[in-house]
Amino acid sequence: MTKPMRGIYTIPSTPFDERGQLDEEGLRRIVDFCIGCGAHGIVSPVNASEFSKLTDEERLRVTRIVIEQTAGRVPVVIGTAGVCTEHAVMFSRYAEELGADAVIAMPPYVNKVDEEGVLAYYRGISEAIRIPIFVQNCPPPVGTEFSVNTLVRLVQEVEHVEYIKEETFPTTHKLSAVRELAGPKLKGVFGGAGCRYLLLEYPRGSAGNMPGCHITDVCVRLWNALEAGDRAEAKRIYGLMAPLFALEMQCPGAVYKEVLRRRGVIRCAAVRNASPKVMDAEDHRALDEILADLEPLFTWHGF
Protein backbone atom coordinates (compact mmCIF):
# COMPACT_ATOMS: atom_id res chain seq x y z
CA MET A 1 0.00 0.00 0.00
CA THR A 2 1.25 3.51 -0.82
CA LYS A 3 -0.58 5.55 1.84
CA PRO A 4 1.30 5.51 5.17
CA MET A 5 -0.40 3.61 7.96
CA ARG A 6 -1.89 5.86 10.61
CA GLY A 7 -4.45 5.79 13.39
CA ILE A 8 -5.77 3.15 15.79
CA TYR A 9 -4.53 -0.27 14.67
CA THR A 10 -6.34 -2.39 17.21
CA ILE A 11 -5.34 -5.87 18.41
CA PRO A 12 -8.08 -8.53 18.44
CA SER A 13 -7.95 -10.81 21.46
CA THR A 14 -7.68 -14.52 20.67
CA PRO A 15 -10.83 -16.10 22.14
CA PHE A 16 -10.98 -19.62 23.57
CA ASP A 17 -13.99 -21.75 24.38
CA GLU A 18 -14.75 -23.40 27.72
CA ARG A 19 -12.43 -26.29 26.79
CA GLY A 20 -9.55 -23.94 26.09
CA GLN A 21 -9.71 -24.40 22.32
CA LEU A 22 -9.45 -21.61 19.75
CA ASP A 23 -12.92 -20.13 19.13
CA GLU A 24 -12.86 -19.38 15.39
CA GLU A 25 -16.36 -17.93 15.27
CA GLY A 26 -15.56 -15.74 18.26
CA LEU A 27 -12.44 -14.45 16.51
CA ARG A 28 -14.44 -13.55 13.43
CA ARG A 29 -16.90 -11.65 15.63
CA ILE A 30 -14.04 -9.79 17.31
CA VAL A 31 -12.63 -8.72 13.93
CA ASP A 32 -16.06 -7.43 12.89
CA PHE A 33 -16.38 -5.67 16.24
CA CYS A 34 -13.02 -3.92 15.74
CA ILE A 35 -13.97 -2.71 12.28
CA GLY A 36 -17.43 -1.72 13.49
CA CYS A 37 -15.77 0.39 16.19
CA GLY A 38 -13.93 2.36 13.52
CA ALA A 39 -10.45 0.81 13.78
CA HIS A 40 -8.08 2.13 11.14
CA GLY A 41 -6.25 -1.22 11.01
CA ILE A 42 -5.99 -4.67 12.59
CA VAL A 43 -2.90 -6.24 14.24
CA SER A 44 -2.74 -9.94 15.17
CA PRO A 45 -1.50 -12.22 16.67
CA VAL A 46 0.78 -10.30 19.03
CA ASN A 47 1.21 -9.90 22.80
CA ALA A 48 -2.35 -8.71 23.46
CA SER A 49 -3.52 -11.68 21.35
CA GLU A 50 -1.67 -14.14 23.64
CA PHE A 51 0.51 -15.14 20.67
CA SER A 52 3.09 -16.82 22.91
CA LYS A 53 0.39 -19.16 24.26
CA LEU A 54 -0.62 -20.36 20.79
CA THR A 55 0.80 -23.32 18.94
CA ASP A 56 2.38 -22.59 15.57
CA GLU A 57 -0.64 -24.20 13.90
CA GLU A 58 -2.97 -21.92 15.89
CA ARG A 59 -0.94 -18.85 14.95
CA LEU A 60 -1.30 -19.76 11.28
CA ARG A 61 -5.06 -20.32 11.74
CA VAL A 62 -5.44 -16.95 13.50
CA THR A 63 -3.50 -15.28 10.67
CA ARG A 64 -5.77 -16.84 8.05
CA ILE A 65 -9.00 -16.05 9.91
CA VAL A 66 -8.06 -12.42 10.64
CA ILE A 67 -7.04 -11.67 7.04
CA GLU A 68 -10.05 -13.53 5.65
CA GLN A 69 -12.56 -11.86 7.97
CA THR A 70 -11.12 -8.37 7.51
CA ALA A 71 -11.59 -8.88 3.76
CA GLY A 72 -9.69 -5.75 2.78
CA ARG A 73 -11.90 -3.39 4.77
CA VAL A 74 -8.88 -2.01 6.66
CA PRO A 75 -5.14 -2.82 6.55
CA VAL A 76 -3.96 -5.92 8.41
CA VAL A 77 -0.57 -6.18 10.16
CA ILE A 78 0.34 -9.75 11.10
CA GLY A 79 2.52 -10.59 14.09
CA THR A 80 5.38 -12.84 12.97
CA ALA A 81 7.88 -12.84 15.84
CA GLY A 82 9.80 -16.11 16.01
CA VAL A 83 12.27 -17.94 18.22
CA CYS A 84 14.76 -17.69 15.35
CA THR A 85 14.98 -16.11 11.90
CA GLU A 86 13.63 -19.20 10.13
CA HIS A 87 10.61 -19.30 12.44
CA ALA A 88 9.78 -15.64 11.82
CA VAL A 89 10.32 -16.05 8.07
CA MET A 90 7.78 -18.89 7.96
CA PHE A 91 5.10 -16.74 9.60
CA SER A 92 6.02 -13.69 7.49
CA ARG A 93 5.86 -15.51 4.16
CA TYR A 94 2.51 -17.02 5.09
CA ALA A 95 1.15 -13.60 6.05
CA GLU A 96 2.25 -12.08 2.74
CA GLU A 97 0.84 -15.01 0.74
CA LEU A 98 -2.56 -14.49 2.38
CA GLY A 99 -2.58 -10.76 1.64
CA ALA A 100 -1.31 -9.06 4.80
CA ASP A 101 -0.43 -5.40 4.34
CA ALA A 102 2.56 -5.56 6.72
CA VAL A 103 4.14 -7.69 9.44
CA ILE A 104 5.26 -6.80 12.96
CA ALA A 105 7.94 -8.70 14.85
CA MET A 106 9.91 -8.64 18.05
CA PRO A 107 13.38 -10.23 17.94
CA PRO A 108 13.83 -13.84 19.14
CA TYR A 109 12.00 -13.98 22.48
CA VAL A 110 13.43 -17.14 24.05
CA ASN A 111 17.19 -17.10 23.42
CA LYS A 112 17.97 -13.40 23.01
CA VAL A 113 20.54 -12.11 20.49
CA ASP A 114 22.92 -9.15 20.41
CA GLU A 115 22.64 -6.12 18.12
CA GLU A 116 24.25 -7.81 15.13
CA GLY A 117 22.00 -10.82 15.69
CA VAL A 118 18.98 -8.52 15.74
CA LEU A 119 20.02 -6.95 12.45
CA ALA A 120 20.54 -10.38 10.89
CA TYR A 121 17.11 -11.51 12.12
CA TYR A 122 15.27 -8.58 10.55
CA ARG A 123 17.34 -8.82 7.36
CA GLY A 124 16.26 -12.44 7.10
CA ILE A 125 12.61 -11.46 7.36
CA SER A 126 13.05 -8.58 4.92
CA GLU A 127 14.75 -10.76 2.30
CA ALA A 128 11.84 -13.22 2.44
CA ILE A 129 8.98 -10.74 1.85
CA ARG A 130 8.12 -7.55 -0.03
CA ILE A 131 5.71 -5.88 2.41
CA PRO A 132 6.58 -3.38 5.19
CA ILE A 133 7.97 -4.50 8.55
CA PHE A 134 7.16 -2.98 11.93
CA VAL A 135 9.97 -3.39 14.45
CA GLN A 136 8.39 -3.94 17.87
CA ASN A 137 10.51 -2.37 20.60
CA CYS A 138 9.01 -4.17 23.58
CA PRO A 139 10.50 -4.43 27.09
CA PRO A 140 11.64 -7.70 28.70
CA PRO A 141 10.92 -10.38 29.68
CA VAL A 142 9.23 -11.18 26.36
CA GLY A 143 10.72 -8.34 24.36
CA THR A 144 14.20 -6.97 23.81
CA GLU A 145 14.74 -3.28 24.47
CA PHE A 146 16.54 -1.49 21.62
CA SER A 147 18.49 1.74 21.88
CA VAL A 148 17.58 4.61 19.58
CA ASN A 149 20.78 3.92 17.62
CA THR A 150 19.75 0.30 17.00
CA LEU A 151 16.29 1.37 15.84
CA VAL A 152 17.84 3.89 13.47
CA ARG A 153 20.18 1.21 12.08
CA LEU A 154 17.25 -1.13 11.50
CA VAL A 155 15.35 1.52 9.55
CA GLN A 156 18.35 2.59 7.51
CA GLU A 157 19.96 -0.81 6.89
CA VAL A 158 17.04 -3.25 6.51
CA GLU A 159 15.11 -2.75 3.28
CA HIS A 160 11.51 -3.31 4.37
CA VAL A 161 11.70 -1.89 7.91
CA GLU A 162 9.46 1.19 7.60
CA TYR A 163 7.64 1.41 10.94
CA ILE A 164 8.35 1.07 14.65
CA LYS A 165 6.08 0.18 17.53
CA GLU A 166 7.71 1.84 20.55
CA GLU A 167 6.83 0.45 23.99
CA THR A 168 9.98 1.07 26.06
CA PHE A 169 10.48 3.99 28.41
CA PRO A 170 10.56 6.86 27.95
CA THR A 171 8.43 6.23 24.88
CA THR A 172 8.03 9.95 24.30
CA HIS A 173 11.76 10.73 24.16
CA LYS A 174 12.50 7.69 22.01
CA LEU A 175 9.72 8.59 19.60
CA SER A 176 11.14 12.09 19.13
CA ALA A 177 14.73 10.88 18.76
CA VAL A 178 13.95 8.14 16.25
CA ARG A 179 11.82 10.43 14.11
CA GLU A 180 14.62 12.99 14.09
CA LEU A 181 17.43 10.56 13.26
CA ALA A 182 15.94 7.81 11.09
CA GLY A 183 15.24 9.90 8.00
CA PRO A 184 12.40 9.80 5.47
CA LYS A 185 12.40 5.99 5.09
CA LEU A 186 10.69 5.78 8.49
CA LYS A 187 6.98 6.12 7.74
CA GLY A 188 5.73 6.13 11.31
CA VAL A 189 6.18 5.32 14.99
CA PHE A 190 3.19 3.76 16.76
CA GLY A 191 2.70 3.53 20.51
CA GLY A 192 1.24 0.71 22.57
CA ALA A 193 0.03 0.21 26.16
CA GLY A 194 -3.61 0.71 25.19
CA CYS A 195 -3.24 4.46 24.47
CA ARG A 196 -1.97 5.16 28.02
CA TYR A 197 0.66 7.59 26.75
CA LEU A 198 -1.04 8.83 23.59
CA LEU A 199 -1.73 12.32 24.96
CA LEU A 200 2.03 12.78 25.37
CA GLU A 201 3.10 10.90 22.24
CA TYR A 202 0.76 12.62 19.80
CA PRO A 203 2.37 16.09 19.95
CA ARG A 204 5.73 14.43 19.22
CA GLY A 205 4.46 13.02 15.95
CA SER A 206 3.03 9.61 16.82
CA ALA A 207 1.54 7.89 13.77
CA GLY A 208 -0.94 5.95 15.87
CA ASN A 209 -1.45 3.37 18.57
CA MET A 210 -1.88 -0.41 18.77
CA PRO A 211 -4.18 -1.06 21.75
CA GLY A 212 -6.08 -4.13 22.91
CA CYS A 213 -9.44 -4.20 21.18
CA HIS A 214 -11.98 -4.20 24.03
CA ILE A 215 -12.69 -0.44 23.85
CA THR A 216 -11.57 0.18 20.29
CA ASP A 217 -14.38 2.69 19.74
CA VAL A 218 -13.19 4.79 22.70
CA CYS A 219 -9.58 4.68 21.48
CA VAL A 220 -10.77 5.80 18.04
CA ARG A 221 -12.68 8.71 19.60
CA LEU A 222 -9.54 9.72 21.50
CA TRP A 223 -7.45 9.59 18.32
CA ASN A 224 -10.04 11.47 16.27
CA ALA A 225 -10.20 14.23 18.88
CA LEU A 226 -6.42 14.63 18.71
CA GLU A 227 -6.47 14.63 14.92
CA ALA A 228 -9.16 17.33 15.00
CA GLY A 229 -7.02 19.46 17.33
CA ASP A 230 -9.61 19.19 20.12
CA ARG A 231 -7.26 18.59 23.03
CA ALA A 232 -9.92 19.39 25.63
CA GLU A 233 -12.12 16.59 24.31
CA ALA A 234 -9.14 14.24 24.09
CA LYS A 235 -8.32 14.92 27.75
CA ARG A 236 -11.94 14.35 28.74
CA ILE A 237 -12.00 10.98 26.98
CA TYR A 238 -8.64 10.03 28.45
CA GLY A 239 -9.91 10.83 31.95
CA LEU A 240 -12.75 8.35 31.52
CA MET A 241 -10.31 5.70 30.26
CA ALA A 242 -7.83 6.10 33.13
CA PRO A 243 -9.66 3.89 35.70
CA LEU A 244 -9.69 1.06 33.16
CA PHE A 245 -5.92 1.43 32.71
CA ALA A 246 -5.52 0.97 36.45
CA LEU A 247 -7.74 -2.12 36.59
CA GLU A 248 -5.88 -3.69 33.67
CA MET A 249 -2.61 -3.36 35.57
CA GLN A 250 -4.14 -4.99 38.66
CA CYS A 251 -5.67 -7.90 36.71
CA PRO A 252 -3.20 -8.61 33.89
CA GLY A 253 -4.61 -10.39 30.88
CA ALA A 254 -8.16 -10.76 32.17
CA VAL A 255 -9.86 -7.42 31.56
CA TYR A 256 -9.72 -7.35 27.75
CA LYS A 257 -11.79 -10.49 27.34
CA GLU A 258 -14.13 -9.79 30.24
CA VAL A 259 -15.05 -6.47 28.60
CA LEU A 260 -15.56 -8.21 25.24
CA ARG A 261 -17.81 -10.78 26.95
CA ARG A 262 -19.84 -8.07 28.68
CA ARG A 263 -20.21 -6.18 25.41
CA GLY A 264 -21.66 -9.29 23.75
CA VAL A 265 -18.77 -9.95 21.38
CA ILE A 266 -17.64 -13.31 22.79
CA ARG A 267 -19.23 -15.93 25.04
CA CYS A 268 -16.20 -17.02 27.07
CA ALA A 269 -13.55 -14.79 28.67
CA ALA A 270 -11.00 -17.58 29.23
CA VAL A 271 -7.32 -16.63 29.21
CA ARG A 272 -4.66 -19.31 28.76
CA ASN A 273 -2.14 -19.91 31.56
CA ALA A 274 -4.05 -17.65 33.94
CA SER A 275 -6.06 -18.33 37.06
CA PRO A 276 -9.82 -17.87 36.64
CA LYS A 277 -9.61 -15.86 39.88
CA VAL A 278 -7.46 -13.08 38.41
CA MET A 279 -10.51 -10.84 38.88
CA ASP A 280 -12.31 -11.01 42.23
CA ALA A 281 -15.74 -9.68 43.17
CA GLU A 282 -14.45 -6.18 43.90
CA ASP A 283 -12.68 -6.07 40.51
CA HIS A 284 -15.94 -6.95 38.79
CA ARG A 285 -17.76 -4.26 40.77
CA ALA A 286 -15.11 -1.73 39.73
CA LEU A 287 -15.50 -2.80 36.11
CA ASP A 288 -19.27 -2.29 36.35
CA GLU A 289 -18.64 1.33 37.33
CA ILE A 290 -15.92 1.90 34.74
CA LEU A 291 -18.04 0.59 31.87
CA ALA A 292 -21.03 2.64 32.99
CA ASP A 293 -18.86 5.76 32.71
CA LEU A 294 -17.44 4.70 29.32
CA GLU A 295 -20.74 3.59 27.79
CA PRO A 296 -21.66 7.06 26.42
CA LEU A 297 -18.42 6.92 24.38
CA PHE A 298 -19.25 3.56 22.79
CA THR A 299 -20.16 3.75 19.12
CA TRP A 300 -20.63 -0.04 18.79
CA HIS A 301 -23.74 -1.40 20.48
CA GLY A 302 -24.13 -4.95 19.20
CA PHE A 303 -24.37 -7.11 16.10
Distance from C-alpha of 174 to C-alpha of 167, rounded to nearest angstrom: 9
Percent of the chain's residues with pLDDT above 70: 100
The number of distinct structural domains making up the chain is 1
Distance from C-alpha of 65 to C-alpha of 15, rounded to nearest angstrom: 12
For 147-169, what is the mean pLDDT? 98
- CATH code at position 122: 3.20.20.70
Instruction: Summarize pLDDT for 3-47 with one digit per residue, the tens.
Output: 999 999 999 999 999 999 999 999 999 999 999 999 999 999 999
Count Cβ atoms below 10 Å from residue 298 Cβ, excluding itself: 16
| pLDDT of 2 higher than 80 | no
Buried b (16+ CB within 10 A) or exposed e, 79-98: bbbbeebebbbbbbebbbee
Instruction: Summarize pLDDT for 134-150 with one digit per residue, the tens.
Output: 999 999 999 999 999 99
Domain that holds residue 224: 7-230
274 falls within a domain: no
| pLDDT of 185 higher than 90 | yes
Distance from C-alpha of 1 to C-alpha of 73, rounded to nearest angstrom: 13
Question: Among residues 159, 152, 217, which one has the least CA distance to residue 189?
Answer: 152
105 falls within a domain: yes
> Is-above-0.85 flag for pTM?
yes
241 falls within a domain: no
For 263-282, what is the mean pLDDT? 93
What value does the mean pLDDT of the chain take? 97
169 falls within a domain: yes
57 falls within a domain: yes
| Residue-level pLDDT at 124 | 98
93 falls within a domain: yes
For 193-205, what is the mean pLDDT? 98
Question: Among residues 139, 183, 146, 193, which one has the least CA distance to residue 162?
Answer: 183
46 falls within a domain: yes
| Residue-level pLDDT at 1 | 61
174 falls within a domain: yes
